[in-house]
Amino acid sequence: MARIKIDQLSTVYPNGVRAVDSLDLEIADGEFFALLGPSGCGKTTLLRTIAGLEQASGGSVSIGDKDVTSFEPGRRNVAMVFQDYALFPHMTVSENIAYPLKVRRQPKTRQREVAERTAGSLSLGGLLERRPGQLSGGQQQRVALARAVAIDADVLLLDEPLSNLDARLRLEARTFLKRLQKDIGITTVFVTHDQAEALALADRIAVMEAGRIRQLGSPRDVFRRP
């Protein structure tokens, strides 16, 4: 758990596109925060810059009381779920969820324990020995979430994690996501271009436009008709 503080952050791609442009933003400890806006406005780039997957061209990112601007992604204690989940097809659900622990050389008993607990909280308990190919889209999405939170990260970054689901599964996934976030109290930044999704999930919403924040507030503030 941690607050995220972004000061005058810019991310410029080698082709000169200024995808994030002198952006200021503070996200509270434990907040569920949505980044909303049309395709190309810079949401993914902002998320990737917080994660350290893109290098900031200017400004700073702090997580908790640490300025992480120059930290490698692995040292930021951030978990990220992408649009395409990227599960390992040859591993079981249990092995997928425990993978981050394996990489960190945690004991096998600990890997198993965390996989079981995390799977349980996302209603995947009966599926631990299956492989991703034997799961529905909604189940795969929950495995990706479980894998992301298996390490005790400070921050959870979600890049349109529900966009590949049909309408019914999306509703179900929203419920899981909200419950998970509440259970572990993790600071969450959620990228979407779907207003209903932001409205259903977020404590606060930032609407982005051309690399900047155009509007910021509670769902009620942001969606109130003028």
Of 4, 96, 7, the residue nearest 51 (C-alpha): 4
- Which distant-in-sequence residues (6+ apart) come within 8 Å of 126 by Cβ? none
Closest approach of Cβ 86 to ligand ADP, in Å? 12
Q: Say whether residue 19 binds ligand ADP (CB under 6 A).
A: yes
The values of phi and psi at residue 5, to 5°, are -125, 125
Total residues interacting with ligand ADP, rule: CB under 6 A:
12
Write each residue from 66 to 95 as x if it is in contact with ligand ADP (CB under 6 A), else as -, in one continuous string. Answer: ------------------------------
Sign, CA torsion 168/218/32/207: positive
Minimum CB distance to ligand ADP smaller for 174 or for 193: 193
Minimum CB distance to ligand ADP smaller for 39 or for 109: 39
Q: Say whether residue 43 binds ligand ADP (CB under 6 A).
A: yes
Q: Say whether residue 45 binds ligand ADP (CB under 6 A).
A: yes
Of 140, 121, 15, 28, the residue nearest 81 (C-alpha): 140
Give the tokens for residue 156.
């959870």
Nearest-Å Rg of the Cα atoms of the chain is 17
- Rule CB under 6 A: choose which of 13, 24, 110, 182 binds ligand ADP: 13
Minimum CB distance to ligand ADP smaller for 2 or for 79: 79
Closest approach of Cβ 179 to ligand ADP, in Å? 25
The values of phi and psi at residue 207, to 5°, are -100, 120
Q: Which stretch binds ligand ADP (CB under 6 A): 9-17, 66-74, 131-139, 199-207?
A: 9-17
Q: How far apart are CA 61 and CA 78, in angstroms?
A: 12
Q: Which stretch binds ligand ADP (CB under 6 A): 15-23, 104-112, 114-122, 199-207?
A: 15-23
Of 62, 86, 70, the residue nearest 100 (C-alpha): 86
Instruction: Count the Cβ atoms, other than its own, within 10 Å of residue 145.
Output: 26
Q: How far apart are CA 175 and CA 169, in angstroms?
A: 10
Minimum CB distance to ligand ADP smaller for 19 or for 98: 19
Q: Say whether residue 17 binds ligand ADP (CB under 6 A).
A: yes
- Catalog residues that contact ligand ADP under the rule CB under 6 A: 13, 15, 17, 19, 37, 39-45
